Structures are given as C-alpha cells and as structure tokens.
Structure 1
Amino acid sequence: MLLAILTLLVGLVVLIVGGELLVRGAVRVAERAGMSQMLIGLTIVGFGTSSPELVASIEAALAGSPGIAWGNIAGSNLANSLLILGVASIIFPLAVLRGQLWRDGGLALIITAALWYIANNGGITVAIGFGFLAIMGVYLGYVYWAEKKYHITDTAVHEKAEALELADTHLHMDQPIWRSVLVLFAGIALIILGGKWLVESAIDLARMIGMSEAVIGLTVIAIGTSLPELVTSVIAAYKKASAVALGNILGSNIFNLLLIGGITAIVSPGSIPVEISSFSLPLLVAASILLLILAATGRKITRWEGAVLLIVYLGQLLYSLTAI
C-alpha cells in the first residue's frame, strides 16, 4: 500500500509539473509564431491549464476505470466551486460581474444539470461526447467574437488566462525558441507519464482499501489535479483581482465539463457510477445554484459566505470518504 500511495503522489507531482511546462512552452512558441494574446488565452492557456484533469481522465477511461474519470471531473468542479472559491473569498471578498456570472456560471449550471439528467437516463454516449465538444467550440467562438467585436473581456476564458499571468511571472520570459519547444515537449512527456502513474496507483489503492474508484476520483485525484487552480485563484484573490479569481474558477468548470467530459464520453461511453450520479452531480448542481444566489444577492462573495462554501466542501468530502 505504501508503494501505491508513493506512486500516486509522485504521479500527481509529475502531472502538475508537466502541465505547467506545457503551458509555458506552448505560450512562448505561440507568441513567437505570431498568435494574438486573445487566441493564446482562448486555446493554449485554457486547454493547457486543464491538462492535468484531462490526462488523468483520459488515462482512467482508457484503463477501463470510468469511475475515476467522471469522479475527477465532478470532484474537480466541486473543489473549484466550494473549496477554491471558499478559500479565495476568505482571503479577499470576490466582486462579481453580472454578465460573467449569468453567462459563464449559467452555462456551467445548465451543462451540469444536463449531465446529471443524462447520467440517470441511459448514460453517456459517443454522440453526447461530440455534442459537449461542439458546445465547447461554440462557446469559444462566441468569446472570440465578443472580445474582438465588442471588447468584452469579462468572460471566464479571458479571466482564466489573466489568472495564469498573475500567478506566473516567468510565463513570458525571453528565451530561445528551441528552449521553448523543449519545454513544451518535456511538459507533454511528463503529463502523459504522470497521468499513467497517477491512475494506475489510484486503481491499485482503491482495490487495496476497498474503496470504489469513483470515490478515489472524487477525492484524492480531484483535489490533486485542482491544486494549480487553487494556487492561481488564491494569488489572484491575494492581489485583489477578484473578477480574475472567479473567472478562473468558472472557466475551469466549463472546460472540465465540456472538454474533458466530452473526450471522456467519446473514449469510454457508458453509465456513470451511482456514487457520482446520485450524490456528487446533484450536489454540484446545488453548489452552482448557491453560487448564483450568493453572487446575485450581494454582487460579491463575502468572507463568511466563502467560509460556508468551505464548510460545505469539507462536509461532502467527509461524507464521500465514509458513507459512499
């Protein structure tokens, strides 16, 4: 068991480091290739910062463990909406932009509710996976169009890129292109290797301690792969960039649901484990509604409201580990 735990931790660290290197290298290569900052933020930053969750879910799906894959998706969004948002709000109350809240938070709520319905009515199909990816494409197209034509910059994807810049002061260091390419490929290699170690050790650990793979995905893997988002959101809150902190969380939720959920559905269609469909997804719907209510009533998420979110997360975490 000790070896499985150690391998899981090493895999998690390698996965996160690989994701960081992937984003750094890809952004620098894209800049040298003449890509606009807007396109870099929409594509490379958005996809790259979600790479730990993406690789972990794909590895789990390919390994025949959809419970880990879907547990990681639902668990990561719970961590984003309750744990990370709660911690960030305690550090500095998060002001909420109405357009960002209803557009991005509303989209995340609708997709979560749809996933919950699908999970209890026939399960996930390849067609649903492609549908999720199509919605992701339409959303990114809308963000690009709105930002270019109307200079709307409060979208979750834009704030996700801003959060990364706040957290990583070395992102745009001037360095030779060959070094950026090397960093990019090193990142790709590390996330693949780290994801493989993480999933294999998680499967072994679940069998050893008699815990379902879905719970492992909901807890250990979800928290681990959400650590980069926690760091960037906390730094944004500490720097009083509250809109950036909230947008980073909403953007992560959208990418997790549509991009990672869509690819997972294509790779491993079928039923979603009951632990997720009967508890985690309805809780995620409730958390999304709670977020809209908290933000709409006061136009900001206060410290005590952040404490409530954090308490709810710790409560569901304890329930997942003991009752499911």
Structure 2
Amino acid sequence: MSYIILVVGFILLIKGADLFVDGSASIAKKLGIPSVIVGLTIVSLGTSAPELAVSLISSLKGSNEIAIGNVVGSNLFNALIVLGITAIITPLLIDKITIKKDFLVNNLITILLFFLTFDSIIFSKSNLISRVDGIILLVLCIAYMVYLVVSAKKGNIKEDNNEVININIMQKVLFIIIGILGIIFGGKLVVDSATTIAYSLGMSEKLVGLTIVAMGTSLPELVTSVVAVLKGENEIALGNVLGSNTFNILLILGASAVITPIPVSQTLAVDFIVLIGVTLLLGFLIFFNKEKIKKLTRTEGLLLVAIYVAYTIYIVIRN
C-alpha cells in the first residue's frame, strides 16, 4: 500500500507543479512580464517545487536525512540522468557563452554547500546546515533571482501580446490554488510513504532520499528536458538542469535549514564529493574545447548514465 501511496504522491507533485507553472506563467504574461523572465524564475522554481515540498515537509517532521538526501540525489539525477538521456535521444548543441555564467554559479554554490555542511573538518564541530547557513543560502537565492531578472531586462525583450487577450485570469488563479494543494498534499504522501518503505526494507532515510525520492521529484526536470530536445530547444534542456540544481541548493536547503537545522551524516561527504566531481566533469565536457557551440554527444550521454548507475549501486551496497 505504501508503494501505491508513493506513486500517487509523485503524480500529485508533478501535476501540481505543472498547474502552478501554467497558472503563474499565464498571469505573469497578462501583467506584461516577459516570458523569458517567467522562464528564468517561475518555471525554474516550479520544476523544483516537488523537491521543495518534500524537503520542507521532511524538515517539519524531523526527517532531515530525506531533505538533504533529496537535494543531493536530485542534483545528481539531473546532471547525469536528465542530461544523459536527453543527449542519447539527440546530441545536445550547447552555446557555451550563453550558459557560462549559470554554470559557474552552479559550481560555486555546490562547493559552498559542501563547506557550509562539513565545516566541522575545520572547526571541530558536528556536521550541520544551521539556520545561519540557511539564511545565507536564501539571501544568495534572492540575489541570484534579481541577477537573472536584471540580465533578462538588459536584453530589451519585446513580448508578443497576441495570446495575452485570451487568458482567463480566474481559471489560472484556480490552477495555481489546485497546483499548490497538489504539491503540498503530494509532498506529504511522498514523505510519509517513503519513510514507511525505508523502515520496512531496512533502508536508511538517507538512502531513500538519495534514490526513490530524488528520482521521483526530478521527473518534472526529466520530462521538461526531453520535450525541449524533441522540439529542438537544446539550451532549455541544460538551462533547466542548471537552474533547478541551483534553486535546489539555495532555496530548498536554505528554507529547510531555517525551519529546522539539518544534521548531516559524515558518510554524505562522499555523495557531496561525487556531486562536485560530476559538475566539474560536465564543465570539462562542455568547456574544454575550442568550439563556440559544444555538442554533447550520445557517447557522452551514455557515460553520464553509466556513472549514475554505478553510483546508485555503490550507495545501495553502502546502506
């Protein structure tokens, strides 16, 4: 029964996030906000909504290992599986100049999180993402969003208003309300059922967060990226992953830590190092060549998927 509840929870999370993004983006258009700004903010936050709901509810319930495992696991899933599968479907053409700054921010934020979490190595205290750490992450999240909006506005974007006239505001408000309810209720079902499954199978909450919950909450990113590459929107696929991974750390862990400081197991240091290594590997694959447009090939996509499979086998054995 717990497995059925888990699936129902994921469905509610994903559909809720979809309705939330649709409603919010439509109202933003009606208010004259350029779609590119909507994409950089509302859509990126919307695809991270399942992770946010699960992590916040986990923090409120004291299941902090699910919260931290969910974020680390989701970011690994996004970087390896989402990008890997999209590259296997069709090689990704990446404009290095366009994504350079976002890629750099994502790398720096990932490394910062490692040092905030495992500063016990220097200061001889327990591994903890404290409320102060959470506030730092949230402040950086706000700064990053402001930077995205300002950068987009500098592009002198002209918006096509042909579709705006037909937007039904009340319908979109209803979408937002239903979406939020779906995210909250679905998140609760996922946390409760995942915890029950963990205990019944002798799995740790940390392992469930790194695997089952991380994979389930990352489905919006996977679907979005696959649809994007099938439509020829290659940059959306990589931008979706980078944006989601950055918001996962800044917003989700930031908010979770402010609610309840998150103690982190020493063994998770390995998972953090793997995450940093994967982000550096992506940097090597994308930037260490002379071409202005990098093609992420099917072979490289297979490599990313293989790394994720090997990592998953390792953490299951470690449990």
Matched, 1:314 2:309: yes
Alignment of 1:130-141 (within 5 A): 130-141=135-146
Hey, what does 2:275 align to over in structure 1?
284
C-alpha displacement of 1:117? 2.0
Structure 1: runs of 5 or more not aligned = 153-170
Distance 1:11 1:263 in 2: 21
Structure 2 residue aligned with 1:144 = 149
Residue identity opposite 1:114 in structure 2: L
Distance (Å, rounded) in 1 between the aligned partners of 2:82 and 2:42: 23
Paired residue for 1:297, among 272, 288, 292?
288
Picking from 127, 131, 142, the partner of 1:126 is: 131
Q: State how far apart, in whole Å, the 2-side matches of 1:218 and 1:68 are.
A: 8
- Structure 1 contact 125–269 (Cα < 8 Å) conserved: yes
| SS in structure 1 at match of 2:264 | coil
Shift of 1:211: 0.7
Change (3 A) 1:148 1:94: same
Partner in structure 2 of residue 68 of structure 1: 66
Give distance in 2, aligned partners of 1:44 and 1:70.
23
Change (3 A) 1:259 1:172: farther
Give yes or no for the alignment of 1:192 onto 2:184.
yes
State the partner residue of 1:233: 225
Give the deviation of 1:274 after TM superposition.
3.0
> Does the 8 Å contact 2:84/2:300 carry over to 1?
yes
Letter in 1 for 2:136: G
1:78–1:313 CA contact under 8 A, matched in 2: yes
Alpha-carbon distance in structure 2 between the residues aligned to 1:28 and 1:51:
18
Tell me the distance in 2 between the aligned counterparts of 1:262 and 1:113: 15
The structure-2 alpha-carbon separation of the partners of 1:172 and 1:255, relative to structure 1 and needing over 3 Å to count, comes to farther
SS of the residue 2:86 aligns to: helix
Figure out how many residues of one structure are paired with residues of the other and give that number: 303
Residues 174 and 319 of structure 1, relative CA distance in 2, 3 Å threshold: farther
Q: Is 1:206–2:215 an aligned residue pair?
A: no
Structure 1 residues 120 and 56: alpha-carbon distance in aligned structure 2, compared to 1, 3 A threshold: same
User: Does structure 1 residue 8 correspond to structure 2 residue 6?
Assistant: yes
Q: Please, which runs of 5 or more residues in structure 2 have no aligned partner? A: 121-127, 158-162
CA contact (8 A) 2:30 2:164 kept: no
Query: What RMSD, in angstroms, separates the aligned Cα atoms of the two structures?
Result: 1.9
Structure 1 Cα separation of the partners of residues 165 and 156 of structure 2? 27
| CA separation of 1:55 and 1:99: change in aligned 2, threshold 3 A | same
Q: Distance in 2 between matches of 1:71 and 1:148?
A: 36
* Aligned partner of residue 256 in structure 1, secondary structure: helix
CA displacement at 1:151 relative to structure 2: 5.4
SS of equivalent residue, structure 1 residue 78 = helix
* Amino acid corresponding to residue 149 of structure 1 in structure 2: K
Shift of 1:272: 1.6
For residues 52-77 of structure 1, give each alpha carbon's deviation from its aligned partner in whole angstroms, at most 9, with x where no partner exists.
11101101111101110111100110
Cα deviation for residue 175 of structure 1 reads 4.6
Alignment of 1:248-287 (within 5 A): 248-276=240-268, 278-287=269-278
2-side partners of 1:208 and 1:274: how far apart?
A: 24
Q: Which residue of structure 1 aligns with residue 124 of structure 2?
A: none
Contact 1:89 1:302 in 2 (8 A): yes
Deviation of 1:96 (Å): 2.3
Pair 1:107-2:105 in alignment? yes
Asked if 2 retains the 8 angstrom alpha-carbon contact of 1:236 and 1:245, the reply is: yes
CA distance in 1, matches of 2:209, 2:165: 36
Number of the residue aligned with 1:155: none
Aligned to 2:125: none
Are the aligned partners of 1:73 and 1:261 in contact in 2 as well (CA < 8 Å)? yes
SS of residue matched to 1:95:
strand
CA distance in 2, matches of 1:100, 1:312: 26
Which stretch of the first structure deviates more once superposed, 179-188 or 100-109? 100-109
What is aligned with 1:224? 216
